[in-house]
């Protein structure tokens, strides 16, 4: 579980016009554009904020810097684990929405088999789609953003149950504030992508 994750929102009119087999290379080639080496940023990276590339693809995609994760997928993985410890103690309506949100993004589910890539988004060939952790179309993003919006006003009601059943002092996402920070970051990603009608992609490096 030493993976990093880079979460991007991407303009579907730019990425989606390419056939699925070419979309990942299109995104990666723009990300690692030859003329820039990596990316040339408009501003230094700030946790909990957006980074937009300069150059010809400056309006095609953006990277989100998550709060307190150091770019590691571990935080996202362990958020799912904390939810497993917590979910039986949540209100049933909130449990359903949280399951939907986390299964759509980062949680493997109780059987560990959840797939976070929409069919047809990228090539089905594992060799071509290597490194893809998440790929959600604009329609999926809109649905997940709406779910996240329903969850937000009810999150505070989980604090006591989290503290009793899921807290791991010093661990990844080991307290309730870290858990809600991660969910709030995902809400920013989803709401911005939904506002633009864009997709969301998570890539390991």
Tokens 């999926």, residue? Answer: 140
Alpha carbon separation from 76 to 28, 43, 48, 142 (Å, rounded): 22, 25, 15, 21
| DSSP-based three-state secondary structure for 199 | strand
Q: Which residue has the higher pLDDT, 32 or 1?
A: 32
Q: Using N-to-C axis directions, what is the helix angle for 138-151 and 92-105, rounded to 10°?
A: 140
159 within 8 A of 176, measured Cβ to Cβ: yes
pLDDT band at 33, cuts 50/70/90? confident
Would the pLDDT of 75 be above 70?
yes
pLDDT tens-place string over residues 129-156 = 999 999 999 999 999 999 999 999 999 9
Query: Tokens representing 104?
Result: 């759509």
Render pLDDT for 155-205 as a digit per residue (tens, 0 to 9).
Answer: 999 999 999 999 999 999 999 999 999 999 999 999 999 999 999 999 997
β-pair partners for 117: 135
Contact indicator for 113, 132 with CB cutoff of 8 Å? no
Q: Residue 33 burial (CB < 10 Å; 0-12/13-18/19+)?
A: middle
Phi, psi of 87 (to 5 degrees): -60, -35
The whole-number pLDDT of residue 36 equals 45
Q: Which residues are bridge partners to 189 per DSSP? A: none
pLDDT of res. 2:
58
Q: What is the mean pLDDT of the chain?
A: 91
pLDDT tens, residue by residue, 106-127: 999 999 999 999 999 999 999 9
Rounded distance, CA 177 to CA 168, Å? 12
Contacts of residue 55, defined as CB under 8 A and 6 or more positions apart, other chains included, come to 33, 35, 36, 40
pLDDT at residue 46 in the model = 58
- pLDDT band for position 58 (cuts 50, 70, 90): confident
């Amino acid at each position: 579980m030493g993976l990093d994750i880079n979460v991007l929102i991407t303009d579907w009119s730019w990425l989606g016009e390419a056939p699925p087999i070419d979309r990942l290379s299109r995104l990666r080639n723009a990300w690692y554009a030859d003329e820039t080496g990596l990316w040339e940023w408009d501003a230094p990276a700030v946790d909990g904020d957006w980074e937009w590339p300069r150059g010809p693809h400056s309006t095609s995609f953006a990277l989100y810097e998550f709060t307190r994760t150091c770019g590691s997928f571990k935080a996202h993985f362990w958020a799912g684990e904390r939810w497993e410890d917590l979910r039986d103690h949540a209100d049933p309506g909130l449990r359903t929405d949280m399951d939907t949100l986390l299964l759509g993004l980062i949680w493997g589910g109780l059987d560990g088999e959840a797939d976070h890539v929409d069919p047809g988004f990228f090539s089905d060939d594992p060799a071509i789609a290597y490194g893809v952790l998440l790929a959600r179309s604009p329609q999926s993003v809109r649905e997940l953003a709406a779910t996240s919006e329903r969850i937000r006003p009810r999150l505070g009601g989980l604090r006591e149950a989290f503290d009793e059943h899921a807290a791991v002092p010093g661990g990844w996402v080991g307290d309730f504030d870290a858990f809600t920070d991660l969910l709030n970051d995902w809400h920013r990603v989803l709401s911005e992508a939904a506002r633009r009608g864009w997709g969301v992609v998570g890539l390991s490096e």
